[in-house]
Amino acid sequence: MRKLILLAVIITCPALPALAQSSDDNNRFEVFGGFSHNRVDTGGPGDGLAFAGDEEHTGFNGFNAAVVGNLSRHAGLKLDVSGHFKREADADFGICVDGTTGGVCFSPRARASLYNFLGGVQFKDNAQGGRAKPFAHLLVGAAHAKVTFDNSACLEALGFACLTDQSETGIAGAVGGGLDIRLSERFDFRAVQLDYNPTHLGSQTQHNFRVGIGVVFH
| CA distance linking residue 211 with residue 181, whole number of Å | 17
**pLDDT tens, per residue, the chain with 218 residues:** 555 555 554 545 554 454 444 456 889 999 999 999 999 988 754 454 544 445 678 899 999 999 999 999 999 999 999 999 998 765 444 555 544 444 555 556 778 899 999 999 999 999 988 899 999 999 999 999 998 877 655 555 555 556 677 889 999 999 999 999 999 989 999 999 999 999 998 888 999 999 999 999 99
- Residue 163 is predicted with a pLDDT of 66
In eight-state DSSP terms, residue 26 is B
- Residue 18 is predicted with a pLDDT of 46
Phi, psi of 145 (to 5 degrees): -115, 145
- Residue 20 is predicted with a pLDDT of 42
- The candidate with the shortest Cα–Cα distance to 67, out of 139, 151, 134, is 139
- Residue 24 is predicted with a pLDDT of 66
Does the pTM surpass 0.85? The reply is no
CA trace torsion 138, 179, 199, 57 (10° rounding): -160
- Residue 147 is predicted with a pLDDT of 86
- Residue 100 is predicted with a pLDDT of 44
- Residue 165 is predicted with a pLDDT of 77
2-13+29-90+110-148+166-217: which CATH number, 2.40.160.20, 1.10.357.10, 2.40.50.140, 3.40.50.300? 2.40.160.20
Which amino acid makes up residue 68? V
- Residue 149 is predicted with a pLDDT of 75
| CA distance linking residue 6 with residue 4, whole number of Å | 6
Radius of gyration of the chain (CA): 22
